Structure 1
Amino acid sequence: MTLEDRGDRAADDGPRPAQVAARARLGLVVALLLIAAVAWWWSVEQMRGMDAGPWTALGGLAGFVLLWVVMMAAMMFPSVAPTVALYTTMTRTRTPLAPAAFTAGYLLTWTAAGVAAWVVGSAVGRVAGDSLAWDGAGRVVAGGAILVAGIYELTPLKNVCLTRCRSPLGFLLGSWRDGPAGGLGMGVTLGAWCLGCCWALMLALFALGVMSALWMAFIAVLIAVEKIAPWRSLLTYGTAALLVALGVVVLLAPTAVPGLTVPVMQDMPMM
C-alpha cells in the first residue's frame, strides 16, 4: 500500500490520531496555544483605536503584513496544533528544528496570502475610489462577500481542502518529507490546503471588519470548529446557513447585526 493510499484511508479517521498525538506532545501543544494567546493580546492592543468597520483601510504593506502574520498565529495555531504535534511524533530524525520549520512553512503560506490581500485591496481601493464607500457599493459588496463565504462552504473544493485539514495523519502520510527542509515544505503545503479551506472566511472577515477583535474571534471560532470538532456535515451546513443569514442581514438591515461597526455618514450642512 502506498503512502497516498494509507493517507486516504487515514482521512476517514478524522482528527482522532492527531488528538492522541497531541496528548503525547502536551508541552508542544501548550507552547503553540501560549503563542496564540500572546498573539491575540498583541493583535487586540494594535487594533485599539483603528477603524473596526467593513473594508478597513489596510495602511502600509509592512505594518499590515506584520499584523496579519500575528493575527494568523492567533487564529490558526489552536486548530493546527494537533497536526504539528502528530508531525513531531512522526519525525524520524527527532531533530528539534523540524517542527519549527513545519510551523514556519505554514505561516509562510499565510504571509504570502496577506501580501496578496494587501496588493488586491490597495489596487481595488485606488481604482474604485469612493464608489466602494458604505453608502455606495460598500454594503452590497460586503453582504455579497459574506454570501460567497456561505456558498463556498458547500462546494467540492471546500470539501477537499477541509478533508485534508481535518485528517492530519492522512495529510502527513501522503506528503511526507524528511528533515527540516522537508518539514518546511510540508508546512507550506498544509498552509495551502488551509488557505483553500479558509480564504472565503477571511474574505468575510474583511467584509465585517478585519481590524475588529470581535469579528476576528468569530471567524477564528468558525475555523477551529470546522477543523477539529465532530459532526462535520452538520457543522458545514450550519456554518453555511449562518454566513448566508449574516450576509442577507448585512445587505438588508446592517444596523441589526450585533457588533458590526456601520460607517455613519456625516450630515450635510444646511444651505
Structure 2
Amino acid sequence: MGGAHWLALYALILGAWGLLYAMALPAALREGAVIYGTDFLRSLCIVTPDAAGFARIILMWALMSAAMMAPTALPAFATYEDLGRSAKTRLGALVAGYLSVWLGFSVLAAGAQMALFNAGLLTAFGDSRSGVLSAALLALAGAYQFSPAKEACLSKCRRPLVFFMAHWDEGPLRNGLRLGLVCLGCCWALMALAFVGGVMNLAFMGLATVIMVLEKLPDLGRYLTRPLGVALLCAAPWVLFTTI
C-alpha cells in the first residue's frame, strides 16, 4: 500500500488524531466546569453545544469520524485499489465518498448533542449526566449487535472484494458512498456510545476504534460481535442501578 495517495490518507488519519488530542479536555477542566459552570468553559474557548458553536461541534464529530472510521476501512480501500491495478481507480474519490457519509453522520450527531444538552441530559462536554440515557444507549448498542441489519452490513464490510465487484461499474465515488453507508450501518450505535464514554475522551475513542477495526476482520470479527453485544446489554442495567 505505497504511493503518495496512501501517504496522504495516513496523514489524514494521523492529523485527525492529532487535532483530537489537541482538543481533548483534561480532567481538571471537567472538574472546573462542575464548580464554575458553563461560563467558565466559554471563557477558555472550549467547544460548547450552543447555537454559535454548532459548526465547531460538527467539526469535532467530523474529526472523530475520520480518525475512528477511516482505519476500519483501510482493508477495503486496499482491496479496491488491487482490483483496479489494470484501470484508473481514483482511490481519492472512493475515500471522499466514504468520508462524506460520515460527515453527514457528524451533522446528525452534533444536532443530537445540542438537543440532549438543551434537555439537560448532557454536560457541556457532551458526556451523559443521566443514568437512564447512558443505560438506554448501552442497551441500544448491545441489542443492535444481534440485529439482521448489523449482520448484513458486517458481511459486506468483511468481504470488500465481493462488495466492490458487485458495484464496480458505478465508479469510485458511488462505491465510496456505498461503502460509507454499510460502514455506518455497522458502527453508528457504537459511535453513539461517545455520549456514555465521553465525547472527546481519547481513551474511549482509541478503544472503540480498535473494537470496530477487529469487528470488521473476517476471521476474528465473527467471534467479537455477539460477545460485545452481551457485554453492552449487561452493562446497561449495571450503569442504571449504580447511577440512580
Q: TM exceeds 0.5? A: yes
Tell me the residue number matched to 1:42: 19
Deviations 1:167-207 (A, max 9, x none): 110110111136xxx21111111101111111110111222
Q: 2:76 aligns with which of 74, 77, 83?
A: 83
Matched residue SS, 2:216: helix
**In structure 1, how many angstroms separate the alpha carbons of the residues matched to 2:15 and 2:113?**
27
**In structure 1, how many angstroms separate the alpha carbons of the residues matched to 2:63 and 2:97?**
15
Number of residue-to-residue matches in the alignment? 220
Q: Which amino acid aligns with 1:82?
A: P
Identity %: 32
Residues 32 and 246 of structure 1, relative CA distance in 2, 3 Å threshold: farther
**In structure 2, how many angstroms separate the alpha carbons of the residues matched to 1:188 and 1:58?**
29
How big is the shift at 1:246? 2.8
Q: Is this contact kept in 1: 2:135–2:240, CA < 8 A?
A: yes
- Name structure 2 gaps, 5 residues minimum: 34-46
Tell me the residue number matched to 2:43: none
Q: Is this contact kept in 2: 1:103–1:187, CA < 8 A?
A: yes
Tell me the residue number matched to 2:211: 222
Matched residue SS, 2:193: helix
Answer with 1 or 2: which has the greater Rg: 1
Residues 215 and 185 of structure 1, relative CA distance in 2, 3 Å threshold: same
Q: 1:93 aligns with which of 87, 92, 95?
A: 87
> TM-score under structure 1 normalisation?
0.72
Deviations 1:72-112 (A, max 9, x none): 221122221111111122235325xx101100110000000
Residues 32 and 133 of structure 1, relative CA distance in 2, 3 Å threshold: closer
Tell me the residue number matched to 2:234: 245
Residues 198 and 51 of structure 1, relative CA distance in 2, 3 Å threshold: farther
Tell me the residue number matched to 2:107: 115
Matched residue SS, 1:171: helix
Residues 206 and 124 of structure 1, relative CA distance in 2, 3 Å threshold: closer
Q: Is this contact kept in 2: 1:165–1:194, CA < 8 A?
A: yes
Matched residue SS, 1:160: helix
Tell me the residue number matched to 1:167: 159
RMSD over aligned Cα atoms? 2.8
Higher relative contact order structure (alpha carbons within 8 Å, sequence separation ≥ 6): 1
Matched residue SS, 1:164: helix
Q: 2:196 aligns with which of 197, 207, 210?
A: 207
Tell me the residue number matched to 1:20: none
Deviations 1:148-179 (A, max 9, x none): 1011101111000111111110110111136x
Q: Is this contact kept in 2: 1:43–1:70, CA < 8 A?
A: yes
How big is the shift at 1:226? 0.2
